[in-house]
A and B are shown apart, each in its own frame.
Chain A
């Protein structure tokens, strides 16, 4: 069975500092991995994805994520946080080898960037 863990409910970081939001996953076979962001009263917005190739993936709004197969992790990072990055972040996984498997989302991590 597929699963996603986001070990931190909440991450606080000062504006201008680097941020990391952690994600680990479990999937049979090779994974598709995703990060989505949800602003208050809005739907989820796609940030970035890992399909294959380079382990470092660059996405929207200056975010990037690093795929680590041995640690089954896909942490989201940004070198310099903005107050406007404050939102709820979801990691998601799907098995690449079984299209019948659908997306599984993590519980979400609330990021607060303090001015």
Chain B
């Protein structure tokens, strides 16, 4: 168990809808990263937050947004969902003093029908 929690575990929704994925980092970790894993694209970095501030953006669509709250949990919001958004979404956290090692949550499997 990495200490990173993600909810929900599974999410099934329809095209055009909006969903929110939640992540709680390991105790004491200030950095949160979001990744999308799909069969055709592999593991893609989406966005990185550190202590509530956005630090870096990767291949994140404009329909997607994220935030990190004062208690350090993070949410990834996906809107106007398309079939191609079906994927596993992972959150990872790291200690700022050792930003090199990331600890991954179990993921949220999103299915868009």
Contact = CB atoms under 8 A, between A and B. Distances in A.
A104 interface: yes
B contact face: mostly helix, strand, loop, or mixed: strand
Contacts of A34: 100-101
Contact of A43 (B45, B48, B99, B105): B105
B56 A102 contact: yes
Contacts of B7: none
B28 interface: no
Interface string A19-63: 000000000000010101000011111100101000000000000
Interface of A: 32, 34, 36, 41-46, 49, 51, 90, 94, 99-108
Interface of B: 2, 4, 33, 35, 42-43, 45, 48, 55-56, 58, 90, 92, 99-107
